[in-house]
Structure formats: structure tokens, C-alpha cells
């Protein structure tokens, strides 16, 4: 074990402790309680752990990167809070969402405050570090909004291409992971090339992660996962799988798939079964796995090109393989 090299679990623990220490404010309580409620619900703290992990590759001192890690985590949770209003989601992490527990206005305003608080952590950076990190954080924040808007647009858009879809998930999910890694690397003193390699790693691993999500919705081992598969099929979500099924299907299958997806009267289990049968016939699982592997390989290539010692990069390889092996 290298001196002062942290594992992902250690970094997640550090972040959870740091979040508990933050004083977000108390009054007015309807503004601040939902912020604490949202952050108390936990989550895997992946983005902030990646900020610290990336910093740790270039520096044994990860203190510098903690405000940046908190900024990314609080920003991410803000997006969940507002997305849950927009998607009308009743639950998040087994708790009622803020707009259900309180109301829409409370969720809008406490979300706004949460975003401002996220930015606020960057205050603790030195002038030079702030000047470097601020544009990365800011550009990424706007991209995440663009991703969410495309995601909502796609619900009613007729033809969503694979390219459109990959661009959307890149913006909605990957750029934040990528920026977390890049910002962390900069806090650790990485040079520009290394920081950009980490960004690319994050982008590709984020895409792999999201496609894995699409795949697991249909093909997860229900014994492990413990919930019924096919939620995306039931809701008719345009996932990587569905988009490619339409792409590969002949006229007849395409018509059948279209009818199935829009059919609100069919038994849900039956719908999932029939759509999955089409996916199987069209080898959508294999096609998706190939794409995931492609993104994964690109991600690994970025790590290999990093100028850091092999031992220090191992945390990223561990992270990448966790993504590939996850079953839920």
C-alpha cells in the first residue's frame, strides 16, 4: 500500500463525514430543511469520491480538493431535487421526494438555494485555484441542464437517434463525472494534459455506466436485484436498447414494437416479455455490451496515457471495473 493513498470506500467515508460537518443554515427552516433532508438520504457519493481520488493521484494532500468534492456532490443532489419535480417522481432513495414531502414551491426554492450553496464551497479555494476550477464547474453545470432538457424533449420526440441519445446521456450524466475528475486532478496539481485525460476517462466511463443502467433494466439478475425488470419498457422510455431495436428491426417487427411500447392496456409483465423477446431476436443485449466495452476500453486507454505511476492510477481501474461488474 502506498503511503497516503486512499481507497474508494475511504474517500466515500471522508465525504460523508465532511457533508455532516457542513452548516447549511437553519432559518428559514423551509429553505434549509429540504437541503439537509436530501443530503441525509445518502447516495453513493461517487462524484465527490472521484474528485478526491483524482487529486490523490497527483498529491498526497487531498485537503485542497474537499471543497470541490462538496461542490460537486451538492450540485448533483440539487439536480436530483429539481429533476424529481419535473419528472413527478414520488420517491428517491426510499424516501419521499422533497416536492411530495413539502410542496413544489419549497422544492423549487430549496433547490435554488442548494445550487447556490454548491457554488459557495468554491469560496474556500485560493484565487488561482478558483480561477481554474470555476469555469469547469460552471460549464458543466449548464451542460447538465441541457442534458435534462434533451431528456425531457425526447419523451415526445418521434425519432431519437443513437447519436442524439448518446449526446443526451453525455450531458446529463457523464460531464459531471468527467468534470469531477478533472477538477480533482487540478487540485492535486496535475498538468493540463493529465487533467484532460481524466476528463476523457470520466466521459467514457459515464457513458458506459448509463448504458449499463439501460441494460440492467431489462437484463439484471432479478434474484440479485430484487425488483421486477423492465421499468423502462413499461414507461416506454427511449433507451439505448429501444432506439437500437427500432434501428435494427425490419418493417414488421418495428411496427409490432411500436404498437407494444405505446399500448397502455396490455399486462405489464406481458409487455416486458414481448419487448424483451424482440430485443433477444435482434441481439440488442450483445450490441449494447459491445458499446459498453468500447467506452470502457476508451476509458482505460486514457488512464494508461496518464503520466502518473501505475500504482497510483489503480483506484481508477478499480472504479472502472466496479462499473463493468455491477449487477444493479
d(CA 257, CA 278): 8
Beta bridge partners of 174: none
Alpha-carbon torsion, ordered 219, 220, 226, 232, to 10 deg: -60
Beta carbon nearer to a copy of itself, 43 or 120: 120
Q: Cα–Cα distance between 169 and 167 in angstroms, integer?
A: 6
Q: In angstroms, what is the minimal distance from the CB of 163 to a copy of itself? A: 14
Smallest distance from the beta carbon of 90 to a copy of itself, in angstroms?
16
Q: Minimum distance between the CB of residue 147 and a copy of itself, rounded to whole angstroms? A: 9
Between residues 11 and 107, which has the closer beta carbon with respect to a copy of itself?
107
- Work out how close the CB of 148 gets to a copy of itself at its nearest, in angstroms, rounded to a whole number: 6
Binding site for a copy of itself (CB under 8 A): 25, 27-28, 30-31, 82, 85-86, 104-105, 108-109, 111-113, 115-117, 119-120, 122-123, 126-128, 130-131, 134-135, 138-139, 141-142, 145-146, 148-150, 152-153
205 closest CA partner among 301, 280, 276: 301
Q: Which are the contacts of 185, defined by CB distance < 8 A and separation ≥ 6?
A: 54, 55, 57, 58, 194, 195, 198
Quote the least distance from Cβ 104 to a copy of itself, whole Å: 8
> Which is nearer to a copy of itself, 2 or 145 (by Cβ)?
145
Tell me which residue of 72, 243, 262 sits closest to 164, measured CA to CA.
243
Longest alpha-carbon distance in the chain? 62
Spell out where the chain has E strands.
91-92, 95-96
Question: Among residues 120 and 236, whose Cβ is nearest to a copy of itself?
Answer: 120
Compute the least distance from the CB of residue 70 to a copy of itself, in Å: 14
**Of residues 105, 104, 110, the one with CA closest to residue 24:** 110
Nearest to a copy of itself of 2, 142 (CB atom): 142
Amino acid at each position: 500500500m502506498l503511503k497516503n493513498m486512499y481507497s474508494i470506500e475511504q474517500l466515500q467515508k471522508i465525504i460523508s463525514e465532511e457533508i455532516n460537518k457542513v452548516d447549511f443554515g437553519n432559518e428559514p427552516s423551509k429553505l434549509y430543511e429540504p437541503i439537509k433532508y436530501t443530503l441525509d438520504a445518502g447516495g453513493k457519493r461517487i462524484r465527490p469520491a472521484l474528485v478526491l481520488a483524482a487529486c490523490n493521484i497527483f498529491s498526497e494532500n487531498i485537503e485542497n480538493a474537499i471543497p470541490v468534492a462538496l461542490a460537486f456532490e451538492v450540485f448533483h443532489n440539487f439536480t436530483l431535487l429539481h429533476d424529481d419535480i419535473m419528472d413527478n417522481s414520488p420517491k428517491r432513495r426510499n424516501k419521499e421526494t422533497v416536492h411530495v414531502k413539502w410542496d413544489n414551491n419549497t422544492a423549487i426554492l430549496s433547490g435554488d438555494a442548494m445550487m447556490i450553496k454548491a457554488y459557495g464551497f468554491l469560496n474556500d479555494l485560493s484565487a488561482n485555484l478558483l480561477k481554474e476550477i470555476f469555469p469547469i464547474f460552471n460549464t458543466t453545470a449548464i451542460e447538465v441542464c441541457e442534458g435534462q432538457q434533451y431528456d425531457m424533449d425526447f419523451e415526445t420526440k418521434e425519432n431519437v437517434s443513437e447519436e442524439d441519445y448518446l449526446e443526451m446521456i453525455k450531458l446529463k450524466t457523464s460531464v459531471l463525472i468527467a468534470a469531477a475528475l478533472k477538477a480533482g486532478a487540478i487540485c492535486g496539481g496535475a498538468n493540463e494534459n493529465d487533467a484532460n485525460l481524466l476528463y476523457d476517462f470520466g466521459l467514457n466511463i459515464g457513458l458506459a455506466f448509463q448504458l449499463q443502467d439501460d441494460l440492467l433494466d431489462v437484463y439484471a439478475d432479478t434474484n440479485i436485484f430484487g425488483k421486477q425488470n423492465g421499468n423502462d419498457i413499461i414507461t416506454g422510455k427511449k433507451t439505448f436498447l429501444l432506439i437500437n431495436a427500432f434501428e435494427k428491426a425490419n418493417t414488421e417487427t418495428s411496427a409490432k414494437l411500436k404498437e407494444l411500447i405505446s399500448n397502455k392496456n396490455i399486462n405489464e409483465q406481458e409487455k416486458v416479455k414481448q419487448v424483451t423477446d424482440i430485443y433477444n431476436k435482434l441481439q440488442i443485449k450483445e450490441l449494447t455490451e459491445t458499446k459498453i466495452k468500447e467506452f470502457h476500453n476508451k476509458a482505460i486507454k486514457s488512464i494508461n496515457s496518464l503520466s502518473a505511476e501505475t500504482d497510483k492510477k489503480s483506484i481508477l481501474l478499480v472504479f472502472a471495473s466496479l462499473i463493468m461488474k455491477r449487477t444493479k
